[in-house]
A and B are shown apart, each in its own frame.
Chain A
Amino acid sequence: MKMNIKSLLKVVSAVVVAACCQSAMAQTTDTQRFTVTVPSTLSITAPADQSLTHDTTDNNQVFSPGSLAANHWAVQCNSSAGATVNLRTSTPFTHTSNSTYKRDAKLDLSVSSSDNSSSGAIWSIATASDQTNYVASDNIASVQATSAQPGKATLALSVTFITNTYSTLLQGDYQIDVVGTIAAN
Chain B
Amino acid sequence: MDSLKQLNTMGQSILGLRRAAVAFLFLLFSVDLASAQHLAIRSREKDQHIIHDFSGDEQLFREVRWDIHNSASREGIAVVWTIDAFESRSGKNHFLADAGLGLRIRNAVPGNSWQVTQATDQTNVSKGDRTATVSAICSRHGDATIGVVVVFQTSQTTIPASGEYQTRLVGTITAP
Contacts and interface: CB of A to CB of B under 8 A. Distances in A.
A35 B21 contact: no
Contact of A151 (B45, B159, B171, B173): B159
Contacts of A31: 43, 168-171
Interface in B154-176: 157-175
B34 to A, nearest CB: 12
Given A32-B43, A32-B169, A152 B66 contact: no
16 contacts: A4-B17, A11-B24, A18-B29, A21-B32, A29-B41, A32-B45, A32-B46, A34-B168, A36-B49, A36-B59, A36-B164, A37-B164, A39-B162, A78-B159, A116-B157, A117-B158
Nearest to A19: B28
Given A149-B161, A150-B159, A152-B159, 15 more contacts: A18-B25, A26-B36, A27-B41, A28-B39, A28-B175, A29-B170, A30-B66, A30-B170, A31-B168, A35-B166, A36-B50, A36-B166, A38-B164, A39-B51, A118-B126
B152 interface: yes
Interface string B29-56: 1001000111111110111111110100
Q: How large is the interface on A (under 10, 10 to 19, 20 to 34, 35 or more residues)?
A: 35 or more
A56 interface: no
Nearest to A21: B32
A21 B39 CA distance: 13
Interface residues of B, number: 64
A34 B51 contact: no
B146 to A, nearest CB: 12
Nearest to A22: B32
Contacts of B163: 37-38, 80
B144 interface: no
Specify which of A7, A34, A149 lies most central, judged by the most chain B CB atoms within 10 Å of its CB. Answer: A34
